[in-house]
Chain A
Amino acid sequence: MTTTTSSATAVAPQKGKVLFARTPALTDTVTNYCPGCTHGIIQRLVAETIDELGIEGTTVGVCPVGCSVTAYDFYSCDMVQAAHGRAPAVATGLKRSCPGNTVFTYQGDGDLASIGMAETVHAATRGEKITVIFINNAIYGMTGGQMAPTSLPGQVTQTSPYGRDIETAGHPIRVCELLSTLDGVALAQRVTVDSPKNVRAAKKAVRKAFEYQIEGLGYTIIEVLATCPTNWGLTPTAAFGWLRDNMLPYYPLGVYKDVKAGEGEK
């Protein structure tokens, strides 16, 4: 599926200033995400961060089970595939055996907050020096739209056709709030990517998480409120509207833990 086209590489010889181009930490592979899926935006922000920090050669990513399962094809850095939910455990091993490397996981809400909740909480409380990029789209994307632990009350999914019933399915999990109570966590921040302004803010957060890891401050997690237009049954633009109307009130954006908060940082 590798493509060879001019524009990805042909920007250099022109005398004009390049305002935006693909970053080298992304391969030239076309992703298998659906049109308008925010996975593509978020994974690009991680790649840009890797290039800005100049750490592509020493970074190892762990891709999960979910729509980003083939992320090893999309990143130029080393990637390891983990079993469903086990990315933090794999990342722990990678980081402890090669502490000089930068290790990140890229996990969906089904992966991180359902089957992988134990690994997530324990890696966080152990203060593993890894960066977790958590894509919260309130649904299981890859398997066709089943209810996730993060699906909202009343949300219609394949497995909650009458809407999520709190009585039987319980309440959605607010991951950043939950993890922020743990001492091993250095940074827990929730962002979204529904506008250029928020994309820029999300990029800053991702970069900060990588920097905290490099400084050895502890476990860092950036939760990104994302869309799944396909399984939400909405156009990509309408999906952003649904995110703003329904997800933002339940999952407020913000910094939930920052060990450097007192040092004049944001």
Chain B
Amino acid sequence: MARIEVDMNYCKGCGLCVDVCPQDIMQLNSEIMTQKGYHPATCVDQDACTGCTSCALMCPDVAITIER
């Protein structure tokens, strides 16, 4: 089990992490709008994260930190 943190200052809501996550636990949060006007990505099930880092590897804005 790993812990994902998405920094909303960096996230531009491009959705690449959502598409690449093999566990399907990343989503764009339509409830929140960042300062720049994007719906940021968020992990909806931290317990299911295997820590594969696929989301972080694909994130163009280096917004994701992953810890185990």
Contact = CB atoms under 8 A, between A and B. Distances in A.
B62 A35 contact: no
B43 interface: no
The bracket for how many chain B residues form the interface is 20 to 34
Max chain B C-beta neighbours (<10 A), residue from A22, A26, A39: A22
A120 interface: no
Contacts of A22: 62, 65
Interface string A43-70: 0100000000000000000000000000
Interface string B49-68: 00111101111111011111
B57 A200 contact: yes
Contacts of A115: none
Q: What is the predominant secondary structure among interface residues of chain A facing chain B? A: loop
Contacts of B16: 36, 236-237
The bracket for how many chain A residues form the interface is 20 to 34
A199 B15 contact: no
B19 interface: yes
A39 B60 contact: yes
A7 interface: yes
B60 A20 contact: no
A18 B62 contact: no
Interface of A: 3, 5, 7-8, 11, 14, 16-23, 26, 30-31, 33-41, 44, 195-196, 199-200, 235-237
Interface of B: 2-3, 5-10, 12-16, 19-20, 36, 38, 51-54, 56-62, 64-68
